[in-house]
Structure 1
Amino acid sequence: MRLNPSLLKLYRTPLFIILASVLFYISFGYDLVRTDYFKLITLYTALFYLFYKLVTLLKTHYQLLIWVAFIFRAVFILAIPNLSQDFYRFIWDGRMILEGFNPYLFTVESFINSGEFPVAQTQELYAGMGALNGSHFTNYPPINQLCFTIAALFASKSILGSVVVMRMIIIAADFGILYFGKKLLERLNIPVHNIFWFILNPFIIIELTGNLHFEGVMIFFLVWSFYLLHRGKWQWAAVVLTLSISVKLIPLIFLPLFFQWFTKQNGIATKTKPSAKKDGLALSLTPRHDLMHRIAKLVGFYIIVGLTTIFLFAPFYSSAFINNYTETVGLWFTNFEFNASLYYVAREIGYLFRGYNEIAIIGEIMSLLAVIFILTLSFFRKNTTLKALISGMLLVLTFYYFTATTVHPWYIATLLILSVFTRYKFPLVWSFVIILSYLTYSNTDNSENLYIILIEYVIVYGVFFWEIFFKNKGDLFCKDKKLK
């Protein structure tokens, strides 16, 4: 029997891509240090190219791509994260809770300085997370802390054991994203294979599964909330959205965007009047809802989010907790800086006029600009369909990151998942060039090369502005009918 050459070629190439990717992921997870920038960039570029080819070739083979997504993640199961030290703090917080301590009330450094060892492997964990992390109070919300505690429950004396447990939670969240993401794409009449631009992206596999960042868990709840919202179950959507906020605070900035979703006609999950005939076409008439009723739903949505947030934070409540938590979160706006764009431009201007870093003032100004932009899109953009709402969230979060003082690579994960439900591709491009930010660690003093940062943002801004003003012209204020 003669084999069909086209079929042989179809399966031979994807198999080669999968095998090569597995080998590259093994090298990435078990034989790489972040200071080896040449190997880091080479491996990542190869993986990204193979990922693009794989999704392009097999986008109609849904089940096969699911297995591939699992295999790629399974490669990292016993790997210690090599691009981030944050996981040591995750382990510390979980073990503190298991020992009966409130992690929001103590810094790691306070125990080290007093010679106390409240959890197993205290010294190893402190050395791993570093003095900067150990000198600050934790800023991880309660659902995130729950994940840390689960790891401590199953592996209270093993760093690798804790890593494995947390990794399994993150992998489970990824497949939850796949499940609800597929359902939502089908409901929005968007190609289902779009979800694999997220699930199979080496950026996601390396940063979430590999380096144990819990953006994946936050995104799982966020996508689930979108799905519930589209089905008209807005009360449950509010609860699940709060779970997302309680993993990472970033979804808080999306809350104003729900204003028009509730107060304007969105056309979903509503009863329709009998069809009317006009020019031989059936027209489905959506009833007008009373404005006060819509506002009541909006207020109800916010109340549910507020009460659920209070409920989740309640076990940790104290006056010291509020002070420590707000102070620590505030540091991200006025003290820390990494991989920024517009902020670095403003910082250089400040150096010219003042002679020193004005991060405290510039950080506040940038935050104010972000708030103005969010409110503008909330009240003047027609976020009345889920497509429009999600694209609005993408634009809001993008502007926030463009003005932020700190943009760690894993932050881009949220932009990437939002882009799956839109026509924007710049987050996909950013997920590739973001690896340049890791070149900072090739220097002994971890100083940033601003020329490298410039290259990253020239590419990102170039694609962004092309999509905004040319490819998707009219989308900024939702004037494009494709978003209806």
Structure 2
Amino acid sequence: MTRFWMLGGLLLGLTLGAMSLHVPGTRELSIRDNMWFVIIAGISLAVYLLAVWLVLHRPAPRHTVWVVLLVAAALRLPLIPVLPFLSSDVNRYVWDGMVQVDGINPYRYIPADPALVPLRDQAVYPHVNRAEYAPTIYPPAAQAIFAATALLWPSVTGVKIVMVGFEVLAVVCLLRLLAAARLPAERVLIYVWNPLPVWAFASDGHIDAATVGFVSLALLLRTRRRDGFAGIVMGAAIATKFLPAVVAPALWRRGARWRLAICCALTVAVLFALYSSVGWRMFGFLRGYGAEEGMTDGSGIWLLAGLARAVPLPAIAVPLYWTAVLGLLAGLAGWLAFIRRPDDPVALCGAAAILMAVVTFAISPHYPWYFAWLAVPAVLAPYRALVWLAASPILFYLDTFGDRFIWPSVVFVPTLLLALADLRPSCVAAPIKGNT
């Protein structure tokens, strides 16, 4: 147990050291401090990967899980009251919640619209990103969370507490999944010690924490064959950040008679109906966001950005890329839903992990928090590529001034190499189970 105390203490010291780079009252790091932050984050990543290796390959004393959970709490608690300095997204969450509390559909106006002048304050509004041109992009379940938070505690700290609460939900579900799979409880370390969720949720309060909670709960309910409830929770996940839609085929069970699919679809429909008074404006910024992030012209996609450095890409390259991605996902979804039939917790999480990793890798976002949800299935299905891809994007906090290929290759090239190693039949058939 001593080695876990030592590694946990080292992670905590590194986290506090990175936090000390922040100047109280400011909302971003200087260029110099940003570089130091990523250096410290890189060391934290190495310590975390060593801890993962130990928990998977070395026997752990009884009650080690309590050490793991205590360290996890210690990593998060100091960050909650600190102003976010790595991202400003949480300010939009607070704003959207305040707008709804005032009885206004959050999709109706951009924050800078004169109709919302009475709601402007000095604590939140000046820090809302894209306020001058972008309506909110967050789906209805996320908006409902923002509204509920605004009713209880309309502040950045309130949102961060709610997001850590979703992490607590995820941890409870993961512990029960580990128990169902007869795996050591301390394996939850793979999620709770991952430095990326620590900074993305406790520090920055990203809505992806809700996705983490919903996906974890859906996996647990599916394991217990509570298909209707699993469908409802999966619908909430999809209506929080769209991407969890790829997990649905992994949850499919032919004996459920479409209960999961119907409940999922109805949940999504009801949630969208709650905000439907603005019509298609609910999706108004999706296209703009895709263009802004280089998804429509290929400049923001790691693979295409790399190819474009070697040869000029034809106009058809981007449509072909997305067609290939959709085809791969469709093939994997069909195989996992109708042929592989994952029923035990490890196989179920392995199936979800494959779909989640493929879509996240294909999109190749440069925002680190998009990768945090991959740490959920990694707890039970710790494929090496998955563990790396769920944690290493913390390096993306380095400001590379728009580079979408060279620095991201530090994450994506090892992912590809590790994925090739994971493709060995023994690894695909049975992810590392560790000590039982």
**TM-score interval (norm. to shorter):** 0.7 to 0.9
TM-score by length of 1: 0.76
Q: Does 1:389 align with 2:354?
A: no
Query: Does structure 1 conserve the Cα–Cα contact (< 8 Å) formed by 2:239 and 2:268?
Result: yes
Question: 8 Å contact 1:59–1:193 — kept in the other structure?
Answer: no
Query: Structure 1 residue 306 and structure 2 residue 273: aligned?
Result: no
Per the TM alignment, residue 140 of structure 1 is displaced from its structure 2 partner at its CA by: 1.2
1:208-233 Cα shifts (integer Å, max 9, x gaps):
11111121221112111111111121
Q: Which amino acid aligns with 1:465?
A: L
- Read off the aligned partner of 2:258 and give its amino acid letter: V
Is 1:128 matched up with 2:127?
A: yes
Which residue among 287, 294, 313 is the counterpart of 1:330? Answer: 287
Q: Deviations along 1:276-302, whole A, 9 cap, x unmatched?
A: xxxxxxxxxxxxxxxxxx3xx342321
Residue of structure 2 in register with 1:366 after alignment: 321
- Written as runs of structure 1 = structure 2, the 5 A alignment for 1:47-66 is 47-52=44-49, 56=54, 60=62, 61-66=64-69
- C-alpha change, 1:469 and 1:29, in structure 2 (3 Å) is farther
Deviations 1:21-53 (A, max 9, x none): 453254256577163332112221233344455
Match of 2:253 among 252, 257, 262: 262
Quote the RMSD (CA, aligned, Å).
3.1
- Report how far residue 144 of structure 1 moved: 1.5
Residue correspondences, number: 415
Contact 1:171 1:209 in 2 (8 A): yes
TM-score in terms of structure 2 length: 0.84
Match of 2:140 in 1: 142
The aligned residue for residue 419 of structure 2 is: 464
What one-letter code is carried by the residue in structure 2 that aligns with 1:180? C
Match of 2:394 in 1: 435
CA distance 1:434–1:152, change in 2 (3 Å): same
CA apart distance, 1:18: 6.1
What is residue 43 of structure 2 aligned with on the other side? 46
1:417 pairs with 2:376: yes
Separation of aligned partners in 2, 1:97 and 1:84: 23
Candidates 151, 154, 160, aligned match of 1:153: 151
Partner of 1:102: 105
Q: Equivalents in 2 of 1:421, 1:395: separation in Å? A: 13
Alignment CA distance shift 1:48-1:368 (3 Å): same
Q: Is the Cα–Cα contact under 8 Å of residues 12 and 74 in structure 2 kept in the other structure? A: no
CA contact (8 A) 1:343 1:403 kept: no
Distance 2:210 2:421 in 1: 32
Q: Give the counterpart of 2:409 among 448, 454, 463.
A: 454
User: Corresponding residue for 1:227?
Assistant: 220
The structure with the largest alpha-carbon Rg is 1
Give the counterpart letter for 2:361 in structure 1: F
- SS of match in other structure, 1:108: coil
Deviations 1:65-103 (A, max 9, x none): 212211211101211111111112111111110111101
Residue 212 (str. 1) matches residue 169 (str. 2): no
Q: Which residue of 2 aligns with 1:3?
A: none
Cα deviation, 1:204-258, whole Å, max 9, x if unaligned, reads 1011111111212211121111111111211111112222222221111222344
Contact 1:339–1:408 under 8 Å retained in 2? no
Match of 2:236 in 1: 243
Distance 1:480 1:10 in 2: 27
1:344 is paired with a residue of what secondary structure? helix
Asked if the contact 1:401–1:407 (Cα under 8 Å) also holds between the matched residues in 2, the reply is no
**Unaligned ranges ≥5, structure 1:** 1-6, 157-161, 264-293
Cα gap change, 1:183 to 1:95, in 2 (>3 Å): same
For structure 2, list consecutive stretches of 5 or more residues without a partner in the other structure.
none
Change (3 A) 1:30 1:68: farther
Q: 1:120 to 1:344 in 2, by over 3 A?
A: same
- Residue 286 of structure 2 aligns with an amino acid whose one-letter code is V
Q: Which deviations, in whole Å up to 9, do the C-alpha atoms of 1:342-363 show, x marking residues without a partner?
A: 23245457x7155xxx5xx554
For residue 10 of structure 2, what is the amino acid of its counterpart? Answer: I
- In the TM superposition, residue 183 of structure 1 has moved relative to its aligned partner by 0.6
**Aligned equivalents of 1:47, 1:26: Cα separation in 2:** 13
TM-superposition CA deviations, 1:261-319 (whole Å, max 9, x none): 422xxxxxxxxxxxxxxxxxxxxxxxxxxxxxx3xx3423211111122222222113x
Q: What SS is found at the alignment partner of 1:75?
A: helix
Q: Does 1:352 align with 2:309?
A: no
Q: Which has the higher contact order (CA 8 A, sep 6+)?
A: 2
